[in-house]
Homo-oligomer: A and B are copies of this chain.
């Protein structure tokens, strides 16, 4: 009861089922709700490109512009692809469902595994990047980044256990503040560049001697790192049903907006970082350096750091909606434990929220709260599920052949080929740096999904009433295990007598003196139940009792035995420590025995 109060304090009172409803979103708020995950990567994607290029020397940083443009092209292709998916799946085109429907269960499970890993990384990466935005502005907090990040994850998880309303306003304000802030910075930055007021802006342009020294592999690695700019782009397609009607049309428009804004912000920041000659530092983010150079340390600097942090937290929050929802779908299909398939008191899939929070916190601790240490793991999953989902769409168009099917299949085909290529590039160029972990995890996850599914199918077969001839007729004996004779035992004997005409009391003798005393009192207090005394040369309570049970059950088939354990319940929990937990021991020993039922008969003490 006390535990329940603590839960209520943090998580809130239960909500009735009828309250489960969703606010419908217009295009403007819809963009805000679904864009935060994707847009927030503006805060770190450019930096991750520069961090790879710097390995080939500062001159190589100039390659960031072509890489940024290549990623913008990929964004355009993927956006276009999902605009097709939305038409086909107006009820929400989750990559897991699209892949499973069109390419079969193995592909669906691969996409599912990739997405679960991806959502976990979204939380870990976004929160780490959010903390980096904070510690760039307030350097004294830098040593506490892991603690800060874990606390943030715990806070977001708790908010989600209470149930965050997918309130448009909650998301709209920070998202548009972020977009506005970055656009303002881009405007000011390009103005200063065009008016020639950029100090040392000549240096970073790619010089010929650098071109020869940088390898193709490093370029691909830089591209792979930047590809995190696409994470979260699928959110709109997942959430079509959240839009006001006409849902599909609105979702398609929002997708276009999202792609345009994302490409603008990302390419803008990348070009400016190159123009301003920003070099990545350990303790300050690239965006922070850039903003500082453009605005100096004024209000606008702190404004952009603050909104960056907030949008990154919102991005993490998105994963706390996506992960439990996907787990719910997979649990419903029997690929994840059933516990993920039930809503908690607050209409939230609580188990999914808790598992995601723990996994993300663990990742943050293992990788020291460093965004760029996590990046090689990120994006592998995203592009794997993109590829499977787009390939599934191609297959679907070929099968159903609606109007313009060859055109639609073509668009999704380009999407599938592009994302597949990017996935392959990421996996090879980042394999040693961490992508292998994700590859291995995906395989392990799939193996578990399959074995969980097999288990559920087997249980269902074994419990099915089809072809069941009904239970065999049973013989029923009740045994009351007594160690002493007191009020609790007398009450249990009285109860046991009502259960079956064949009731016996069993006493295991550890000390003959006690037996005599017991037998003496039995006449008056035994309630007429016959007493069986078993001897125990090894002072074991269980051994002789189990032997007796065997003996009894071997007399005939389907002999059901109910074992009644008289137990007194102390008034306070700590008093349990002062009594032998014999009942627990006996239950443990009998747990896997057939046709045996153990019943505690509690006698409640009052003080």
Point out residues on A near B: beta carbons under 8 Å.
Answer: 14-18, 337-339, 342-343, 345, 452, 455-456, 458-459, 462-465, 468, 470-471, 474, 476, 485-488, 490-491, 494-495, 498-500, 521, 525, 537-540, 560, 562, 568-570, 575, 577-580, 591-592, 594, 597-607
Residues of B within 8 A of A598 (CB): 599-600
Among B462, B471, B525, B591, contact of A491 (Cβ-Cβ < 8 Å): B471
Q: Which residue of B lies closest to A334 (CB)?
A: B578
- Asked if B495 and A474 make an inter-chain contact with CB atoms under 8 angstroms apart, the answer reads yes
Contact A487 B465 (CB under 8 A): yes
Can you report 28 residue pairs joining A to B where beta carbons are below 8 Å apart?
A14-B539, A17-B537, A18-B537, A337-B579, A338-B578, A338-B579, A338-B580, A339-B580, A345-B540, A459-B570, A459-B605, A462-B605, A463-B603, A464-B486, A465-B490, A465-B521, A470-B490, A471-B487, A471-B490, A471-B494, A498-B499, A498-B500, A562-B599, A592-B604, A594-B604, A597-B601, A597-B602, A599-B599
CB distance from A122 to the nearest CB of B (A): 26
SS class, residues of chain A in contact with chain B: mixed
* Inter-chain contact B591/A569, CB cutoff 8 Å: yes
Q: Is the CB of A538 within 8 A of B345?
A: yes
Q: Which residue of B lies closest to A564 (CB)?
A: B597
Expressed in whole angstroms, the Cα–Cα distance for A569 and B603 within the complex equals 28
CA distance A270 to B470 in the complex (A): 86
CB proximity of A29 to chain B, nearest CB, Å: 29
| Extra inter-chain contacts (13) besides given A16-B538, A337-B578, A456-B578, CB under 8 Å | A14-B540, A15-B538, A16-B537, A345-B538, A455-B578, A462-B487, A463-B488, A465-B486, A465-B490, A476-B495, A495-B560, A597-B602, A598-B599
A557 → chain B closest CB, angstroms = 15
Bound: A202/B302 CA distance, A:
76
Q: Taking the nearest CB of chain B, how far is it from the CB of A501, in angstroms?
A: 10
Q: Is the CB of B537 within 8 A of A606?
A: no
A429 to B462, CA, bound (A): 74
State the copy count for this chain: 2
A320 to B17, alpha carbons, bound, how many Å? 60
Provide the residues of chain B in CB contact with A575, threshold 8 Å. 455
- Chain B contacts for A486, CB-based, 8 A: 463-465
Q: Are A465 and B500 in contact (CB under 8 A)?
A: no
Residues in B with CB closer than 8 Å to A462 are 487, 568, 605-607
**Bound complex: CA of A579 vs CA of B337, how far in Å?**
7
Give the interface centre of A345, A464, A486, A598 by most chain B CB atoms within 10 Å.
Answer: A486
Chain B residues within 8 Å of A465, by CB: 485-487, 490, 521, 525
Per a CB cutoff under 8 Å, which of B487, B495, B568, B578 touches A597?
A: B495
A459 to B579, CA, bound (A): 11
Chain B residue at minimum C-beta to C-beta distance from A20? B539
Q: Which residues of B contact A540 (CB under 8 A)?
A: 14, 345
Instruction: Report yes or no: B474 in contact with A498, Cβ–Cβ below 8 A.
Output: yes
Distance of A17 Cα from B562 Cα, bound (Å):
30
Task: List, in ascending order, chain B residues with CB within 8 A of A14's CB.
Answer: 538-540
Q: Which B residues are in CB contact (< 8 Å) with A455?
A: 570, 575, 578
Residues of the B chain whose Cβ atoms lie less than 8 Å from the Cβ of A343: 539
Cβ–Cβ < 8 Å partners of A560 in chain B: 495
Question: Which chain B residue has the least Cβ–Cβ distance from A568?
Answer: B463
Measured CA separation A594–B604 after assembly (Å): 7
How distant is the Cα of A603 from the Cα of B591 in the complex, in angstroms?
11
A470 closest partner in B (C-beta): B490
**Closest Cβ of chain B: how far from A328's Cβ, in Å?**
14
> Most chain-B CB neighbours within 10 Å: which of A337, A339, A459?
A459
Q: How far apart are the CA atoms of A147 and B598 in the complex, in Å?
A: 44
- In the complex, which residues of chain B have a beta carbon less than 8 angstroms from the beta carbon of A521? 465
Which residue of B has the minimal Cβ distance to A460?
B486
Distance to closest chain B CB from A358 (angstroms): 15
**Which residue of B has the minimal Cβ distance to A484?**
B463
Cα A471 to Cα B498 in complex, Å, equals 13
Q: A591-B569, A600-B597 are in contact. Are A342 and B580 (CB under 8 A)?
A: yes
Residue of B nearest to A587 (CB): B600
Q: Which residues of B contact A500 (CB under 8 A)?
A: 498-499
The 3 closest A-B pairs by CB, nearest first: A463-B486, A14-B538, A599-B599
| Chain B residues within 8 Å of A339, by CB | 580
Residues of chain B lying within 8 A (CB to CB) of residue A592: 569, 604
Q: How far is the CB of A481 from chain B (nearest CB, A)?
A: 15
Partner of A464, one of B456, B458, B470, B487: B487
Structural contact, A337 and B459, CB atoms closer than 8 A: no
Closest to A18 in B: B537
Q: Which residues of B contact A604 (CB under 8 A)?
A: 592, 594
**Known contacts A15-B538, A560-B495, A599-B599, A463 near B487 by CB under 8 Å:** yes
Q: A490-B468, A498-B500 are in contact. Are A599 and B597 (CB under 8 A)?
A: yes
Alpha-carbon separation in the docked complex, A211 to B575 (Å): 58
Closest Cβ of chain B to A216, distance in Å, is: 47
The docked-state distance in angstroms from the alpha carbon of A471 to that of B605 is 15
Q: How far is the CB of A472 from chain B (nearest CB, A)?
A: 9
The answer on a CB contact under 8 Å between A459 and B568 is: yes
Residue in contact with A494 in the complex, picked from B345, B474, B537, CB distance below 8 Å: B474
